[in-house]
Homo-oligomer: A and B are copies of this chain.
């Protein structure tokens, strides 16, 4: 694997996770517990889809410059015509919205990871990556502040909200471990000072999550529980296919059309 191939793959992973979580949040427009929340969810979606666009634009540039697989495809092509098996988003972000606690549990566990990831990537040896990460980090600080607040509110709110929040954490937990599983791509880029060290991320993530869940009077499941994996090989849960069928409908139905 060349460094450019690894880089292309790495950028797709970043972009796909942002895009798919953004798409899930788009589904919630008109469907949040308060208008202010709807606005907040929309803002997070806007940030994530914007970041996805930046990552995929860079991925398209890298592929074309290095003439590797994916060359000649635009960011839109990558987002709107790749198949489920070629998608590289983390399994956690494709999980359905569920109730508000489910939505927030998914968001919080992702946000903590996203925050530490972008912090690390802000110092990437690849300046293009550092620039996108630094810009994204400002947004993600706000995402994390918000989702942390909701974990506390729901965890330490009413009995009902506590039970729902604990269920939500317990259910989504099995999809959290995948964020820290490094493969050849990760190692190659971490060694080159371009990508993030996932082991380091794991410790930071664990400390933050354990502390916040404790503050929220919630039980934190063990990091040693069985964790689902597969997204780095494009092995997704059955939910992603339906999401893509909807998201990609127009470009699929009118191949080559410009919008």
- Chain A interface (Cβ < 8 Å from any Cβ of B): 83, 241-242, 245-246, 248-249, 252-253, 255
Contact = CB atoms under 8 A, between A and B. Distances in A.
Contact of A253 (B242, B246, B248): B248
Contacts of A255: 255
Contacts of A246: 242, 245-246
**Top 8 A-B pairs ranked by shortest CB distance?**
A245-B249, A252-B252, A252-B253, A245-B246, A245-B245, A255-B255, A242-B246, A246-B246
A242 to B, nearest CB: 6
13 contacts: A83-B253, A241-B249, A242-B246, A245-B245, A245-B246, A245-B249, A246-B246, A248-B253, A249-B249, A249-B252, A252-B252, A252-B253, A255-B255
A82 to B, nearest CB: 10
Contacts of A252: 249, 252-253
Main secondary structure of the interface of A (DSSP, over half): helix
Given A83-B253, A252-B253, 11 more contacts: A241-B249, A242-B246, A245-B245, A245-B246, A245-B249, A246-B246, A248-B253, A249-B249, A249-B252, A252-B252, A255-B255
A245 B245 CA distance: 6
Nearest to A241: B249
A95 to B, nearest CB: 18
Contacts of A245: 245-246, 249
Contacts of A83: 253
Nearest to A248: B253
Contacts of A249: 241, 245, 249, 252
A198 to B, nearest CB: 33
A252 B245 CA distance: 10
A83 B257 CA distance: 15
Contacts of A241: 249
A181 to B, nearest CB: 29
Contacts of A253: 83, 248, 252
A249 B83 CA distance: 11
Contacts of A248: 253
